Amino acid sequence: MARRLDTREAGFDADFRALIAQDRDEAANVDTAASGILAEVIERGDAALFHYTEHFDRLRLTPETAAVSAAEVDAAIQQCDAADLDAIAVAAARLRAFHRAQVPADTDWTDDEGVRLGQRWTAIEGVGLYVPGGTAAYPSTVLMNAIPARVAGVARLVMTVPAPDGHLSPLVLAAAREAGVDEIYRVGGAQAIGALAYGTKTIRPVDKIVGPGNAYVAAAKKLVFGTVGIDMIAGPSEILVVADGDNDPAWVAADLMSQAEHDENARAVLITDDTAFADRVAAAVDTLLTWLSRAAIARASWDANGAIITVRDLAGEAPALVDRVAPEHLELCVADPDALLKRIRNAGAAFLGRHTPEAVGDYVGGPNHVLPTAGSARFSSGLSVLDFCKRTTYVGCRAEGIGRIGPAAERLARAEGLEAHAVSVQRRLEGG
């Protein structure tokens, strides 16, 4: 049973602090293991990559069999249900449309001192996309990571996906084709992150790595940062639903379980101003958990990390509580969600109104479903086109421009004791 909190109770603030401070990451320290695998990939390249693939995925590879061929992708697509392929196409089209609106524009102007200023945007050249494999099949992960990269203009998009016992999800391969992935390799784990970051004879290195994975993948991404860029270190999934008593409790219960079923460490929280409604939602969750296919996972998540919070005044109290949680997913199931959203600062993505479940955002909403977790929405945002772009600024001075702004630069350089800096400006001033 999820914990119940009430802002009218004397111990609420301490209980709420304990809730949001709760450590939901996997307990095992995997950094040492991931570091060892990365070191072997650096030293032995393909030999280490293929050794760990055989060890963990029971799949023996060679340089000739590591890549998934175009013919294999064609065959996989033939195995897919036509309706599933249509759904992938719908999702891809909506994602492209939304992300095209994020493409930044170059700027170029001359200021009042006659100095030319500007910035230009260029796409990252090569990006590696990690996709979970095996029993998990997440074509949506492929679309959400690959499409903004393609929209940004990334020239080379490489996907790694583990293939335990040789199995690859046909839908994942179909999504890769739809999204325009260039290269696909049947490798996973920390060894795949190492190959993408450092390169092997079979896999050329990339410049940035994106995509979710298990604790070893997350640890490896953290360790290779600096050699390559990464998107984020994602934690367990989470949802916070703000709902008044006019909602259908079965709808809200399903929304809460849509995140709880991801992972035993996931978190689902309801904030409401109606105690009777809170009771009905709790009962509806119990009913769902009698038949959901992933009920054991969802129940473990709900019991360990779930919460129902009752407040006196939804509009008055909920925004501050939401900001303290800074949830990955925020549903505002109220009559005027826009008014409430204006008072909230911290959320990865918001879903507005009673008819907008978070699950729509996972697949076909348009915005990206790769979002900050564990309170990091306080200082970061979801994946976007900008994550696949670099900004180069520039300055252009003519003689009159350096004559106007140069004296201040020379003065500051001397104040900092950097004589060569000062002289480089001084000589242009004297020569102008």
Q: What is the pLDDT of residue 133?
A: 84
Q: What is the pLDDT of residue 25?
A: 62
The band of 36, judged by pLDDT with boundaries at 50, 70 and 90, is: very high
Q: What is the pLDDT of residue 417?
A: 98
Tens of pLDDT along 131-149?
Answer: 998 656 899 999 999 999 9
Computed over its alpha carbons, how large is the radius of gyration of the chain? Answer: 25
Which residues of the chain form CATH 3.40.50.1980?
A: 3-25+235-365, 31-108+124-230
Q: What integer is the mean pLDDT of 392-413?
A: 97
The CATH code belonging to domain 31-108+124-230 is 3.40.50.1980
| pLDDT above 60: residue 27 | no
Is 419 a known active-site residue? no
Tens of pLDDT along 88-128?
Answer: 999 999 999 999 999 999 999 999 999 999 999 999 999 99
Q: What is the pLDDT of residue 420?
A: 98
Q: What is the pLDDT of residue 432?
A: 57
Nearest by Cα to 231 from 207, 259, 265: 207
Tens of pLDDT along 193-209?
Answer: 999 999 999 999 999 99
Q: What integer is the mean pLDDT of 285-294?
A: 97
Give the separation between CA 328 and CA 111, rounded to whole angstroms. 41
Give the separation between CA 141 and CA 211, rounded to whole angstroms. 7
| pLDDT above 90: residue 411 | yes
The CATH code belonging to domain 3-25+235-365 is 3.40.50.1980
Nearest by Cα to 369 from 349, 351, 398: 349
In which element (H, E) is residue 88 found? helix 82-100
Tens of pLDDT along 296-309?
Answer: 999 999 999 999 99
Q: Which listed residue (40, 238, 261, 329) is catalytic? A: 329
| pLDDT above 70: residue 15 | yes
The band of 23, judged by pLDDT with boundaries at 50, 70 and 90, is: confident
Tokens of 78: 């033939």
Is 329 a known active-site residue? yes
Q: Are 119 and 393 in contact (CB under 8 A)?
A: yes
| pLDDT above 90: residue 235 | no
CA 283 to chain CA centroid, nearest Å: 32
Q: What is the pLDDT of residue 26?
A: 57
Nearest by Cα to 232 from 172, 144, 292: 144
The band of 161, judged by pLDDT with boundaries at 50, 70 and 90, is: very high
Q: What is the pLDDT of residue 24?
A: 64
Q: Which listed residue (261, 264, 328, 331) is catalytic? A: 328
The band of 22, judged by pLDDT with boundaries at 50, 70 and 90, is: confident
In terms of phi and psi (left: phi > 0; alpha: psi -120 to 50; beta: otherwise), the region of 37 is alpha
**pTM for this entry:** 0.94
Contacts for 322-327: CB closer than 8 Å, 24+ residues apart? 322/240, 322/242, 322/271, 322/346, 322/347, 324/16, 324/20, 325/20, 325/240, 325/269, 325/375, 326/372, 326/375, 326/376, 326/377, 326/378, 327/238, 327/239, 327/240, 327/269, 327/377
Q: What is the pLDDT of residue 69?
A: 97
In the numeric block, the tokens 């201040």 are attached to 408
| pLDDT above 70: residue 352 | yes
Q: What is the pLDDT of residue 106?
A: 98
Q: What is the pLDDT of residue 29?
A: 73
